A and B are shown apart, each in its own frame.
Chain A
C-alpha cells in the first residue's frame, strides 16, 4: 500500500530478567496508514506499551530486546538506523506521550521553555522564534499564552497533559504514539483532553496510535482497532468490525466483562481465569484455557483468519463462520 506510514512486520520483543525470559511481544504484524487513528486495546501485560517503545527504540536497556522483525517507517527500517539517525526521527517525525504527565515534564523549567526546547532540538531557529512557536502551541492546546512562564507544579493534571501533548506535537510529527494519555485524568477532564486531541489530529493530519485499556475511549476516538492479548494481536479491523461484529472469544469476553450503563443485570460476565504467565506461554492459542469455545484444534498455533475484508481474527474457529486464512 502506497499510503502506509508505519509497517510493523513479525515484531518479537523479549525482556530478560535474572531467572526468566518474558515474551512480551510475539510476532506482531501491524500497519498504520497516513492520517489513520488506530487503537491498541488490551489489559496489563498484553504488550501494548512494549510495541510503542519498540517503535521509538526506547526499550529498557539491557533487559529489553527486539528479537526479530522490522518496523518500517516510510520505507526505512527503524531497527536498522544508527542511534544518531534515530534521534532525528524521535520527537521529530514520531512523538510519544506517556500516561503520567508528571514524568514527562522537568519540574525546574517553565513549560514554555520546555516546549521551545523540544522545537529547537530538531529545528535550527532562534530562541525568540522557538518561543513564539511554543506560545502558538500552548494556545493550540487550549492554554492561555500568559502561562508560558509557569512551572509544571502550577498546572493541574489535565493541563499538564495538555502541555505534554503540545510538546509532542511541537515538531509536527507524522506519527503520535499516545500511551494511555488520559488514564490518569478524571473523566470530565479526560473528555476535554480527548476532544482537544481529536481536533488537533484533524488539524495537523497526524497519524495516531492510541494505546488504552478503555474500549469506550477507542470507540470515540479511533478508526481502526487492534486487540492485544499475551503479546499477540488477536483481532484487528475497523471500529465497526470490532464493536459491531467482534469475533475473537477474548474480544467478546472483554465486552461481556464491562459494566454497562444501559442494562439491568445484577451480575457481570467476567472471563474466567487469568492471562498466561508471559515467561511460560502455552503452546497453541494463548487464550485457550480461558476460552468457552475451545476445541482440540486450539492446541496448535491459531491462524489469522480474515472473516470479512480487513477484519482479521486469530482464531481457528473463525474459519467455521466462513473466514479464510491469510
Chain B
C-alpha cells in the first residue's frame, strides 16, 4: 500500500514536469504507439512477414498492399509492423543489460571508493579504448549472427557509459547525511547501497537509459544491416534496408520506409530523454 503510494507520487511528479514540454509528450505518445504496434503485430499486420507473392515482386502501393511489396513480393507494411518487434527488443533489452551491469559496477565503485573504484574505473578505461561498435561487431561475429547475440553484444558494449554516470551520481549521494544516518542505525552496506543510494542516484541515469534505447535501436539496425543481427526471413528495420540494397535505385522507398521508422523511434527516444532531463532536474522545480 505504502509502496504503491510512494511510486505513484514520484511518477506523478515526473509526469507533471514532463507534460510542460509538448514535444516530449508527443515523443512519449509516439513511443507508446510503436510499443503498441509491436505488441499487436499479429493482429495489426495484414499479412505474415514471410508470406511471399511471386506476382507482386516490387509492386507499387495498392489497396491490398498499402506500402507495396518488396523484391520477394512480401508486404512491406506487414514487415515494418513485425520489424518493430525486433528493433524495440534490440533497444530495450540491450539497454536493460547495459544499465543493470552499469548500475552495479557504478554503485559499488562509487560507494566503496579507494582501490575498488580505481580498479574498476581503469578497467572501464581500457574497455572504452576499444570502439564500441567494433566491439559489438566482433562479439556478434564470435558468438554467431543472431538477434540474441546482437543484443548481448550491444548491451555489453555500452556498459561503461552507464557505469560512469552511476558512479558520479553515487559519489554525490554518498556524501549525504542520510547515508551516514543509516550507518548510525546499523544498516549494512548492501542495504545502504540498494535502499538509500541507488534510488536517489538513479535520476541522471533515467535520461541516459531513454536516450540509450534510441541509440541501441540505431546501432542494432546497423548490425542487422551488415548481417549480424536479425536473420532472414525475420524482418528487422536495419535488415530490411540491407535487403533493399539491390533494388535501391529503382525502388528507393523499400529502404526509405524502414529508415523513416528507425528515425522516428530514435528521435522519439531522444526527445523524451531531453524532456526527462528537464523534468528530473531539481533546479527547475517550482
Question: When A and B assemble into the complex, do they touch directly, with CB atoms less than 8 Å apart?
Answer: yes
Report, nearest first, the 4 A-B pairs whose CB atoms are least far apart. Answer: A17-B286, A18-B16, A18-B286, A63-B286
Q: State the majority secondary structure of interface residues on A.
A: loop
Q: Which of chain A's residues have a CB closer than 8 A to the CB of B286?
A: 17-18, 63
A-B contacts, 4 listed (Cβ < 8 Å): A17-B286, A18-B16, A18-B286, A63-B286
User: In the complex the two chains form, what is the Cα distance from A63 to B286 in whole Å?
Assistant: 8
Within 8 A of A (CB), among B248-286: 286
A291 to chain B, nearest CB (A): 30
Task: Name A17's closest neighbour in chain B (CB-CB).
Answer: B286
B interface list, Cβ under 8 A from A = 16, 286
Q: What is the 8 Å Cβ interface bit string for chain A, positions 13-26, against chain B (1 contact, 0 not)?
A: 00001100000000
Q: Which of chain B's residues have a CB closer than 8 A to the CB of A18?
A: 16, 286
User: In the complex the two chains form, what is the Cα distance from A197 to B274 in whole Å?
Assistant: 47
User: In the complex the two chains form, what is the Cα distance from A114 to B286 in whole Å?
Assistant: 32
Give the A-B contact count at a CB cut-off of 8 A.
4
Task: Name A22's closest neighbour in chain B (CB-CB).
Answer: B286
Task: Name A16's closest neighbour in chain B (CB-CB).
Answer: B286
A62 to chain B, nearest CB (A): 12
Q: What is the 8 Å Cβ interface bit string for chain A, positions 50-63, against chain B (1 contact, 0 not)?
A: 00000000000001
A50 to chain B, nearest CB (A): 15
Within 8 A of B (CB), among A67-126: none
A16 to chain B, nearest CB (A): 9
Q: Which of chain B's residues have a CB closer than 8 A to the CB of A63?
A: 286
User: In the complex the two chains form, what is the Cα distance from A17 to B286 in whole Å?
Assistant: 5
User: In the complex the two chains form, what is the Cα distance from A17 to B16 in whole Å?
Assistant: 12
Task: Name A60's closest neighbour in chain B (CB-CB).
Answer: B286
Q: Which of chain A's residues have a CB closer than 8 A to the CB of B16?
A: 18
User: In the complex the two chains form, what is the Cα distance from A18 to B20 in whole Å?
Assistant: 10
User: In the complex the two chains form, what is the Cα distance from A266 to B16 in whole Å?
Assistant: 49
User: In the complex the two chains form, what is the Cα distance from A63 to B285 in whole Å?
Assistant: 11
B227 to chain A, nearest CB (A): 51
User: In the complex the two chains form, what is the Cα distance from A79 to B16 in whole Å?
Assistant: 33
Task: Name B20's closest neighbour in chain A (CB-CB).
Answer: A18
B136 to chain A, nearest CB (A): 41
User: In the complex the two chains form, what is the Cα distance from A63 to B283 in whole Å?
Assistant: 13
A19 to chain B, nearest CB (A): 8
User: In the complex the two chains form, what is the Cα distance from A63 to B284 in whole Å?
Assistant: 11
Within 8 A of B (CB), among A239-260: none
Q: What is the 8 Å Cβ interface bit string for chain A, positions 151-190, against chain B (1 contact, 0 not)?
A: 0000000000000000000000000000000000000000
Task: Name B16's closest neighbour in chain A (CB-CB).
Answer: A18
A15 to chain B, nearest CB (A): 8
User: In the complex the two chains form, what is the Cα distance from A40 to B226 in whole Å?
Assistant: 72
Within 8 A of B (CB), among A3-20: 17-18
User: In the complex the two chains form, what is the Cα distance from A86 to B196 in whole Å?
Assistant: 47
User: In the complex the two chains form, what is the Cα distance from A17 to B17 in whole Å?
Assistant: 12
A304 to chain B, nearest CB (A): 33
Task: Name B17's closest neighbour in chain A (CB-CB).
Answer: A18
A193 to chain B, nearest CB (A): 28
User: In the complex the two chains form, what is the Cα distance from A261 to B83 in whole Å?
Assistant: 78
User: In the complex the two chains form, what is the Cα distance from A48 to B286 in whole Å?
Assistant: 19
B20 to chain A, nearest CB (A): 8
Q: Which of chain B's residues have a CB closer than 8 A to the CB of A17?
A: 286
